[in-house]
Amino acid sequence: MDHWPLRSYLELGALPSAVPCARLHTKHLLWEWGLETFTDATELVVSELVTNAQRVSAGLTGSRFGGRWRPGVPPVRLWLYSDKERVLIQVWDGDDRQPEPQYVDPQAESGRGLLLVETLCAEWGTHRLEGSSGKLVWALVGGVDGDQSTH
């Protein structure tokens, strides 16, 4: 965690509007951090991960986070971290399934979100959080090595 002196956390409703909200937040934050060079890639990755998280959350009726049960559609949680050389994006949703990049038919119009994340990011992955349902999906923009674990 010491690797990430710049940190931000935003809790979003699992609504379609979460996606533009997350993008705008990311853009403003990277400007504030003086990291505009990362803005385009980070915004795209945030957009793909939050879109996925919002979609899978829609049908849920409750979730656990940090040991606390909460009824209703869970929020989508977004963390952004930086050490000025890389930006770490983390998105939590309350759905227990794991994201899986898929083979997509060349004619298909969708299904490439995670492939885009793979292309733009040095690394990405997913893990469960203790005392919580769902999972966290993380992705690293910039840099090629380093410790991305924050939990």
Ligand X SMILES: Nc1ncnc2c1ncn2[C@@H]1O[C@H](COP(=O)(O)OP(=O)(O)OP(=O)(O)O)[C@@H](O)[C@H]1O
Interface with ligand X (CB under 6 A): 48, 52-53, 56, 93, 95, 97, 99-102, 110-115, 137
125: Cβ contacts below 8 Å, ≥ 6 apart? 137, 138, 148
Angle between helices 18-32 and 39-57 (to 10 degrees): 150
The residue assigned the tokens 């533009």 is 20
Contacts of 72 (CB under 8 A, 6+ apart): 61, 62
Q: Which residue is it, tokens 């949680």?
A: 77
**How large is the angle between the packed helices 39-57 and 113-120, nearest 10 degrees?**
150
128: three-class secondary structure by DSSP: coil
Q: How far is the CB of 104 from ligand X (least distance, A)?
A: 8
> What is the smallest separation between the CB atom of 120 and Mg ion, expressed in angstroms?
13
Given the complex with ligand X, which of 101 and 143 has the nearer CB atom?
A: 101
For Mg ion, what does the binding mask look like between residues 45 and 84, x meaning CB under 5 A?
A: -------x--------------------------------
Give me the least distance between CB of 116 and ligand X, in Å please. Answer: 8
To ligand X, the closest distance from the beta carbon of 122 in angstroms equals 18
CB nearer to ligand X: give 75 or 99.
99
Q: Which is nearer to ligand X, 35 or 92 (CB)?
A: 92
Q: Write out the residues near Mg ion by the rule CB under 5 A.
A: 52, 113
